[in-house]
Amino acid sequence: MADIAVLGHGVVGSGVLEVLLTHRESITRRAKEEIRVKHILDLRDFPQLPYAGLFTKDFNQILQDPDVKIVVECMGGLEPAYGFAKACLENGKSFVTSNKELVAAKGAELIALAQKNNLNFLFEASVGGGIPIIRPISQCLAANEVGEIAGILNGTTNFILTKMIREQMGFEEALAMAQELGYAERDPSADVEGADACRKICILASLAFGTHVYPQDVHTEGITQITLGDVAYAEAWGGVIKLIGMVKMGENGKISILVAPMFIHRESQLANVDDVFNGILVRGDATGDVVFYGKGAGKLPTASAVVADVIDCVKHFKARKYLYWEDAKPDYVEPFARMAGEFFVHIKGPGSSDQAFAAAQALFPQAARIIRKDEEPGEAGFSAAGLTPAGLDEKLAQLKKAGMSVCGRILISDF
Ligand code: HSE
């Protein structure tokens, strides 16, 4: 019998109980012993539940219970999860979490602590929800040099963009629909401003490149500025706009990492990842592109990844060595301003569209014009390669001085 405790009985925590109860027999067979939930920590009461007697409000009751060897955390947020994780790992208990804030902020430290004490700190659910991605990168693809990862890592924003692309629904209306359907939080800022995707790409970057990548070092743009005009330009260019988390290792040994809306070519593997689905493309030198697709959030998909980690802990109680990264070195991230790439630029001038484009062409000789359906008078769109964001901003400032409005600039992806 393996006794565990579950911290948090929200969407994911209650899903963990549901998965354990529903699949009790097969899980016992796979873990080679029965997994029993002995305590559930939550500040709320759930008297109607058949397992109401398992609830406690006192974390110390769990910490001091010698029978509990695995603690599962599904609370989210940095505190008190971080304090609980440290206390467990310092007191002989392995720790399984779905908490991306915790892993993105404290992963290197908690992995090191777990390994020092020959315990496990596992977090398969923290990035892809039900999509297996942590083990595939760290185990199955371990013989590769992973050069680049690009992913649609946030279901809420992907749902909104899908509505904008497929139904020409405005951003606000699509967000309201996502909230109504339960795909977006009441406060959706972490999703629409890109912070959620940023945490996830940081975890994947840490895993792939062996050095902790902190969200505060990453350039992050959300989708709040994306308009239906931009969506139409993307279509005229030959693709769609997606919110992408991307990381690659540069030749200078620095990590280029960012979260931003990007033009994705229609033929890209990520272009058809729609609605609340996530997709993650991992570019390995031996494998080429490997793509993971599925539900990146939700009660049962996420709980299934958490319970799989618990089974792994039960079968291998001592530290699993495949999961490891070191703390960051100084200046390990390439500043966004210096990352060269291709951009779509959307401007508007007081004259005709042709005049607006001619003014742009004087500054961007490489500009390739894009003409969208229902282009407004004075509006022009173009793509231009070989630019750094700093160089682009300098030229855009000159356009503004010449009386143009810059409606937007969006990165063009190369995958
Ligand atoms: N709101 C997040 C999403 C939940 O939509 O992907 C999972 O992090």
Could you write out the DSSP letters of every residue in 330-384?
TT-B--GGG--EEEEEEEE-SS-HHHHHHHHHHH-TT-EEE--TTPPTTEEEEEE
Residue 346, both tokens: 């959307």
| Ligand 1 centroid – CA 153 distance (Å) | 8
SS3 409: strand
In this predicted structure, what is the pLDDT of residue 319?
83
| CB-CB neighbours of 176 under 10 Å | 14
Looking at residue 385, its pLDDT comes to 97
- Tally Cβ neighbours within 10 Å of residue 210: 11
Question: E strands within 58-179?
Answer: 68-73, 94-97, 121-122, 146-152
Q: What is the DSSP letter of 137?
A: I
Peptide bond into 80 cis (omega under 30): yes
Ligand 1 centre from 266 Cα, in Å? Answer: 24
Tell me the C-alpha to C-alpha distance, in Å, between residue 325 and each of 30, 139, 201, 214, 262.
29, 14, 15, 12, 29
Residue nearest to atom 7 of ligand 1 (CA): 297
Q: Order of strands, edge to edge, in the sheet holding 55-56? A: 55-56, 35-41, 2-7, 68-73, 94-97, 121-122
Tell which one of 97, 98, 123, 154 to mutate to probe ligand 1, the residue whose CB is within 8 A of the most ligand atoms: 154
* Distance of alpha carbon 338 from alpha carbon 388, whole angstroms: 5
Contacts of 276 (CB under 8 A, 6+ apart): 155, 156, 158, 159, 183, 295, 296, 297, 298
| Helix, strand, or coil (residue 15) | helix
> How far is the C-alpha of 318 from the C-alpha of 406, rounded, in Å?
56
Which residue's C-alpha comes closest to atom 1 of ligand 1?
156
pLDDT for position 299 = 95
**Which ligand 1 atom lies nearest to the CA of residue 153?**
6
Q: Spell out the alpha helix ranges (H) of 185-328.
A: 189-192, 195-209, 228-237, 299-315
- How would you class 177 by CB atoms within 10 Å of its CB: exposed for 0-12, middle for 13-18, buried for 19 or more? middle
User: What pLDDT is attached to residue 131?
Assistant: 96
Q: From ligand 1's centre to the CA of 313, what distance in Å?
A: 26
The pLDDT score that the predictor gives to residue 270 is 97
> How much is the pLDDT for 321?
80
Q: Which residues contact 22 (CB under 8 A, 6 or more apart)?
A: none
| pLDDT, one tens digit for every residue, the chain (415 residues) | 999 999 999 999 999 999 999 999 999 999 999 999 999 999 999 999 999 999 999 999 999 999 999 999 999 999 999 999 999 999 999 999 999 999 999 999 999 999 999 999 999 999 999 999 999 999 999 999 999 999 999 999 999 999 999 999 999 999 999 999 999 989 999 999 999 999 999 999 999 999 999 999 999 999 999 999 999 999 999 999 999 999 999 999 999 999 999 999 999 999 999 999 999 999 999 999 999 999 999 999 999 999 999 999 999 988 888 888 999 988 999 999 999 999 999 999 999 999 999 999 999 999 999 999 999 999 999 999 999 999 999 999 999 999 999 999 999 998 8
CA of 164 to the centre of ligand 1 (A): 18
**CA 407, 409, 410 angle in degrees (round to 5)?**
135
Nearest ligand 1 atom, CA 129? 7
Pairing relationship of beta strands 68-73 and 2-7 according to DSSP bridges: parallel
Ligand 1 atom having least distance to the Cα of 302: 7
pLDDT at 161: 98
Ligand 1, atom nearest to 159 Cα:
5
How many CB atoms sit inside 10 A of residue 403's CB?
11
Rg (CA), the chain: 23
Ligand 1 atom closest to the Cα of residue 183 is 5
Q: Look up residue 296 and give its DSSP letter.
A: -
- Which tokens go with 9? 């009985």
The alpha carbon of 196 and the centre of ligand 1 are apart by a number of angstroms equal to 7
- Cα of 297 to ligand 1 centre, how many Å? 5
* pLDDT for 315: 94
Residues taking part in catalysis: 200
The CA distance from 97 to 81, in Å, is: 9
List residues near ligand 1 (CB under 6 A).
154-156, 191, 196, 296-297
Please choose, from the candidates 25, 37, 40, the residue with its C-alpha nearest in 3D space to the C-alpha of residue 75. Answer: 40
Q: Is the whole model's pTM more than 0.95, yes or no?
A: yes
Q: Which of 75, 183, 196, 201 has most ligand 1 atoms within 8 Å of its beta carbon, as the pocket-test mutant?
A: 196
